């Protein structure tokens, strides 16, 4: 919890003056809670002793005027509190969210394989809401109540009778002890409820995300029943929590009622002895009832405080996990001139007991075009992911133009490589913005040129809003092939000496694939290219083909050479039905 509190206080530092202003206003509220009843006491006492013939204004002028001034002043001061809160909290929430986003941005790719983006965003949103709630509870409820109670004890002990201070302090001590005891059980139930709610919400998101499967398998009723079961569990847990809170609030209310009754009986006793006035009775009862009302929901507030502190801790623990891949303190900017890539005795494993690469070495010469093939899980994707430093190697070194990638900044490494993944990564923005993302300094002319090279310009122009068409979340408004073409255009716009292609033709029709390869052959002429492909016919013109099996490069050579070897590549070629060349002649006209 200490780390959570420090994190929130650090985010609150720019707004410390705002927080101090709110605290001072709450001190005014706490003073006002006792001062105005005291003024009423003075008025009542003066009325009680006022001669019948005297003018009331003579006796009541100063307390009434002071009471009126205090009431009007309170209106302005409390509106000032609202203004300070308005200026502080939205910006604090915004800064907190951006601070968390910056921390998340620095995480390695492995982090996002373990945590879904939606879950991370939800946790950040919950953190902002919970932090705001903690500010409200701390300043407006706990701090204000404690100060109000202390001032009330002083006022009643000073103006009425010292025993009332003792009664209130004793009652407050018992109250805190009872509240602490009663809060422990609801807190356990609250944590249980949050876990149940998280599971229920996960069921809901999972079912909605896979609605197409539910439709195609006619399982809508099944999904409804599946989610409804967890909804009932969530409702039952909520009822249990609310019942515990209800019973605890009953105990607190009973205790406060007894406290007020004790004070009332003691007041009557003192009045009979002539030790207190009518004004003293009014002052004491007014302050006591006001304090009791402010403490009425203390169990609920305490529970909410720890619940929201727990939400903050969960979110902060999620985003503050140690980074697996970080830049070295002396990292420099990668400078790529030729695009030579070297693997020197690389060892790597996803699971420590099952190494994938063991002492792997190979060199890709500048401007060489290399195909990567092999069965699923053989190490092709891992090979390129290690070049991108999406995962950290265990032993050995990967060099680009003689520079170890562990000794350069990750941003400069990624800036030097164009990567086109098999699953296109598109933002829910316009087509133009998605393509221009490859080079933020590119002109509109350059963006359109890249789209033409990627065979995307023609279908983009046919869309109602052309390049201004918003593609939807992950590009759902476009077909798979269209998304792929836009992703390729974006990569082509990036000024990089090294290009990595991961099965980019999987979503393309044969005609588009042909024209795309024709365009790419010119673009990639002076670049180093690595291409992962299952459609082996796309690799015929590559300078080299690396064949992977269980993390080992078992074959290395040109297509014709590998076919003559009649090894693994030959068998892959023979068993791949999509290797029949498309009759391009028909489309050459």
Mean pLDDT in order along the chain per 10 residues (589 residues)? 83 91 93 86 75 53 82 91 92 90 78 72 86 91 86 82 80 77 72 80 80 80 87 88 81 83 86 83 84 75 80 82 77 90 91 82 92 88 90 91 91 88 82 88 89 84 87 78 84 87 71 68 82 82 90 91 89 68 35
Residue 336, by phi and psi: left (phi above 0), alpha (psi -120 to 50) or beta? beta
Q: What are phi and psi of 529, to 5 degrees?
A: -125, 130
Whole-number Å distance between alpha carbons of 563 and 570: 5
Q: Are 357 and 546 in contact (CB under 8 A)?
A: no
Q: Which helix (H) or strand (E) holds 346?
A: strand 341-348
Whole-number Å distance between alpha carbons of 516 and 484: 11
- In this prediction, residue 323 carries a pLDDT of 66
Identify the bridge partners of residue 347 per DSSP, sorted by sequence position: 395
Q: If you compute the radius of gyration of the chain from its CA atoms, what whole number of angstroms results?
A: 36
Whole-number Å distance between alpha carbons of 581 and 589: 18
Whole-number Å distance between alpha carbons of 43 and 452: 87
Whole-number Å distance between alpha carbons of 366 and 337: 9
Please give the structure tokens belonging to residue 378. Answer: 């053989």
Identify the bridge partners of residue 499 per DSSP, sorted by sequence position: 418, 529
Q: Are 129 and 16 in contact (CB under 8 A)?
A: no
Identify the bridge partners of residue 546 per DSSP, sorted by sequence position: 372, 556
Please give the structure tokens belonging to residue 167. Answer: 């009664």
DSSP code per residue over 104-142: HHTS-HHHHHHS-HHHHHHHHHHHHHHHHHHHHIIIIII
How far is C-alpha 104 from the geometric centre of its chain's CA atoms? 8
Q: Are 396 and 343 in contact (CB under 8 A)?
A: yes
Terminal C-alpha separation, the chain: 71
Proportion of the chain in helix, strand, coil states, percent, rounded to 5 = 65, 10, 25
- In this prediction, residue 580 carries a pLDDT of 42
Give how far Cα 173 sits from Cα of 34, 50, 154, 184, 515, Å.
20, 40, 16, 17, 82
Q: Cα torsion at 402, 403, 406, 412 (round to 10°)?
A: -140
Residues 6+ apart with CB under 8 A from 6: none
Whole-number Å distance between alpha carbons of 531 and 504: 9
Residue 274, by phi and psi: left (phi above 0), alpha (psi -120 to 50) or beta? left
Please give the structure tokens belonging to residue 136. Answer: 């409200």
- In this prediction, residue 588 carries a pLDDT of 34
Greatest alpha-carbon pair distance for the chain in Å reads 127
Whole-number Å distance between alpha carbons of 416 and 496: 5
Q: Are strands 341-348 and 395-400 parallel, antiparallel or unpaired?
A: antiparallel
Domains and CATH numbers, the chain: 2-319 (1.20.1560.10), 325-416+496-589 (3.40.50.300), 427-489 (no CATH)
From 426, 465, 467, select the one nearest 449 (Cα to Cα).
467
Measured over the CA atoms of residue 519, residue 522, residue 527 and residue 533, the dihedral's sign is positive
Identify the bridge partners of residue 529 per DSSP, sorted by sequence position: 369, 499
Please give the structure tokens belonging to residue 52. Answer: 């019948």
Q: Are 539 and 572 in contact (CB under 8 A)?
A: no
Tally of CB atoms within 10 A around 402 = 10
Residues 6+ apart with CB under 8 A from 79: none
Q: Are 476 and 364 in contact (CB under 8 A)?
A: no
Q: Which helix (H) or strand (E) holds 374?
A: strand 369-374
């Amino acid at each position: 919890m200490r780390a959570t509190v420090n994190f929130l206080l650090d985010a609150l530092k720019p707004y410390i003056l705002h927080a101090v202003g709110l605290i001072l206003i709450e001190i005014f509220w706490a003073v006002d809670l006792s001062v105005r009843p005291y003024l009423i006491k003075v008025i009542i006492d003066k009325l009680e002793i006022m001669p019948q013939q005297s003018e009331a204004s003579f006796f009541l002028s100063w307390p009434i005027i002071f009471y009126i001034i205090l009431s009007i002043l309170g209106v302005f001061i409390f509106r000032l509190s609202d203004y300070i809160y308005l200026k502080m909290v939205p910006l604090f929430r915004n800064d907190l969210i951006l601070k968390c986003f910056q921390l998340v941005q620095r995480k390695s790719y492995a982090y996002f394989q373990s945590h879904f983006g939606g879950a991370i965003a939800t946790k950040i949103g919950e953190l902002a809401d919970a932090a705001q709630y903690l500010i409200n509870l701390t300043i407006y409820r706990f701090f204000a109540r404690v100060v109000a109670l202390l001032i009330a004890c002083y006022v009643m002990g000073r103006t009425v009778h010292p025993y009332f201070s003792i009664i209130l302090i004793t009652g407050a001590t018992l109250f805190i002890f009872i509240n602490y005891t009663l809060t422990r059980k609801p807190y356990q139930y609250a944590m249980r409820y949050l876990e149940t709610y998280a599971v229920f919400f996960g069921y809901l998101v999972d079912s909605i995300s896979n609605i197409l499967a539910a439709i195609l398998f006619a399982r809508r009723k099944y999904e409804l029943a599946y989610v409804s079961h967890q909804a009932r569990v969530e409702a039952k847990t909520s009822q249990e929590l609310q019942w515990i809170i209800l019973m605890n609030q009953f105990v607190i209310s009973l205790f406060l009622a007894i406290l007020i009754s004790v004070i009332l009986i003691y007041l009557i006793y003192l009045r009979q002895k002539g030790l207190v006035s009518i004004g003293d009775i009014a002052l004491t009862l007014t302050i006591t009832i006001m304090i009791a009302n402010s403490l009425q929901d203390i169990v609920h507030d305490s529970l909410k405080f720890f619940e929201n502190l727990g939400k903050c801790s969960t979110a902060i623990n999620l985003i503050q996990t140690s980074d697996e891949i970080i830049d070295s303190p002396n990292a420099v900017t990668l400078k790529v001139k030729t695009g030579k890539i070297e693997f020197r005795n690389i060892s790597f494993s996803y699971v420590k007991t099952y190494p994938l690469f063991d002492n792997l070495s190979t060199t890709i010469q500048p401007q060489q075009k290399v195909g990567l093939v092999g069965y699923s899980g053989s190490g092709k994707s891992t090979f390129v992911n290690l070049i991108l430093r999406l995962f950290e190697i265990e032993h050995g070194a990967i060099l680009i133009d003689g520079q170890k990638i562990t000794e350069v900044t990750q941003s400069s490494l990624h800036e030097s490589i164009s990567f086109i993944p098999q699953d296109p990564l598109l933002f829910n923005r316009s087509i133009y913005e998605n393509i221009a993302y490859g080079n933020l300094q590119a002109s509109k002319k350059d963006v359109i040129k890249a789209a033409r090279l990627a065979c995307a310009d023609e279908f983009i122009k046919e869309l109602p809003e052309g390049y201004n068409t918003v593609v939807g979340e992950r590009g759902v408004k476009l077909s798979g092939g269209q998304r792929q073409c836009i992703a390729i255009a974006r990569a082509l716009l990036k000024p990089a000496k090294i290009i990595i292609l991961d099965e980019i033709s999987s979503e393309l029709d044969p005609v588009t694939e042909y024209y795309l390869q024709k365009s790419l052959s010119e673009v990639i002429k002076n670049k180093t290219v690595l291409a992962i492909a299952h459609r082996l016919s796309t690799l015929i013109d590559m300078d080299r083909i690396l064949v992977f099996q269980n993390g080992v490069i078992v074959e290395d050579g040109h297509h014709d050479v590998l076919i003559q070897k009649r090894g693994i590549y030959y068998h892959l070629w023979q068993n791949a039905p999509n290797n029949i060349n498309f009759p391009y002649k028909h489309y050459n006209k």
